[in-house]
A = this chain, B = another copy of it.
Amino acid sequence: MKKEAIAHPNIAVIKYWGKRDVRLNLPAVSSLSLTLSQFHTHTIVEWGSLRDHFVLNNEEMQDKQAQKVFSFLDRIDPNRPYCKVISDNNFPTAAGLASSASAFAALALAGSAASGQNRSLDEISILARQGSGSACRSLWGGWVEWKKGERSDGLDSHGVQIATKSHWDLRLIVAVVSDKKKLISSTKGMLQTANTSPMYDAWVQTAQEDVNTGRRAILNKDLDALGEAMEHSTLKMYSTMFTTKPAIRYWKPQSIAIMQEVERLRKSEISCWFTMDAGPNVKILCHTKDAEQVAESIGKHTSIVHILEAGGDAVIL
């Protein structure tokens, strides 16, 4: 069986940081995200092959990345035959967007279909989560909540769509400050944070409040309320990173310059709000009507600026 799927990356507006179970990628906190259009991962899985193959962007991979893909296929079916996986991202890794979310969402979808299994979308989201936590949010378009869940087997920890891509006319602007690989992986950073930051407990304890505020703001289309919760969630996440031993500091001078620019734009009555992830790039949420002006202002600080729309569901082609 040969199946192909497409999935889009997503950006958390209420952040995910910290795991309650590392092996199953169960999060310590719930999160909320926006799935992005324009960019996607396209993946073909062919069930049955002479040996395992993983071809990424036309290049046969042999490294740890390939191993991760093959192990992931083992989760789909422990008794699987050898498989061939061909995956392409239509966006540069320099785009400042983690490609692992769209990658594992597309792989879970195509792999499940190719294996002939009949899984529900929730089950595929649970599967994708085990490849990369945030991938569980990329199964759906628009606005998605990832519930942290309570179960130790993780069966209640998956994405839930709370609004479709056409719900709200917003843009997400991605300001790329650096395209270098991050200095410390998210998983390692999360573990170090949980083990050494005195702020970690407060982060975990107050995250649900931000998810509730964010969900309400999305449903009410209240950008100021969502933006405030998003920046607060982002800065809380960074606070746990700054206070680990040794400190994790992803910010660069330009990151601060862009945050200051966002603040200046707000003073001139443009509702725009920043978020960041485990790296120095800055993402800004604003109304579609303001997107060009915001992008132009941000463009004073970096030459790579993407204006992205809300994207749709992951799909089998």
A201 to B249, CA, bound (A): 22
A180 to B130, CA, bound (A): 50
Judged by a CB distance under 8 angstroms, whether A89 is at the interface is: no
| Known pairs A202-B198, A235-B242, A239-B199; A253 contacts B257 (CB<8 A) | yes
Chain B nearest CB, measured from A197 CB (Å): 8
| Known pairs A253-B257, A255-B256; A231 contacts B247 (CB<8 A) | yes
- The B-contacting residues of A in range 242-299, CB under 8 angstroms, are 242-243, 245-247, 249, 251-257, 259-260
Selected contact of A256 from candidates B203, B247, B256, CB within 8 Å:
B256
A246 to B229, CA, bound (A): 10
| Known pairs A198-B206, A198-B236; A251 contacts B256 (CB<8 A) | yes
| Known pairs A198-B205, A202-B198, A202-B201; A243 contacts B232 (CB<8 A) | yes
- The B-contacting residues of A in range 220-247, CB under 8 angstroms, are 228, 231-232, 235-236, 238-240, 242-243, 245-247
Cβ-closest chain B residue relative to A247: B235
A98 to B245, CA, bound (A): 29
Chain B nearest CB, measured from A248 CB (Å): 10
A 28-56 binary contact with B (CB < 8 Å = 1; else 0):
00000000000000000000000000000
Q: Which of A238, A240, A243 has the most CB of B within 10 A?
A: A243
**How many protomers of this protein does the assembly include?**
2
Cβ-closest chain B residue relative to A255: B256
A260 to B255, CA, bound (A): 13
List, in ascending order, chain B residues with CB within 8 A of A255's CB: 256
Chain B nearest CB, measured from A299 CB (Å): 16
A235 to B201, CA, bound (A): 17
Cβ-closest chain B residue relative to A245: B232
List, in ascending order, chain B residues with CB within 8 A of A259's CB: 249
Chain B nearest CB, measured from A270 CB (Å): 17
List, in ascending order, chain B residues with CB within 8 A of A202's CB: 198-199, 201-202
A198 to B208, CA, bound (A): 13
In the complex, 30 of the A-B residue pairs with CB atoms within 8 angstroms, ordered by the A residue number, are A198-B203, A198-B206, A198-B236, A199-B203, A199-B236, A199-B239, A201-B202, A202-B202, A228-B245, A228-B246, A231-B247, A232-B245, A232-B247, A235-B243, A235-B247, A236-B243, A238-B239, A238-B242, A239-B239, A239-B240, A239-B242, A239-B243, A249-B259, A251-B256, A252-B260, A253-B253, A253-B254, A253-B256, A253-B257, A253-B260
Give 9 new A-B contacts, CB below 8 A, not counting A232-B247, A235-B242, A235-B243.
Answer: A198-B205, A198-B206, A198-B236, A199-B202, A199-B203, A232-B243, A239-B240, A252-B256, A253-B254
Q: Which residues of A contact B (CB under 8 A)?
A: 198-199, 201-203, 205-206, 228, 231-232, 235-236, 238-240, 242-243, 245-247, 249, 251-257, 259-260
The 10 A-B pairs with the shortest beta carbon distances in the complex, nearest first, are A239-B239, A253-B253, A235-B242, A198-B202, A198-B206, A253-B257, A253-B256, A199-B199, A236-B243, A199-B202
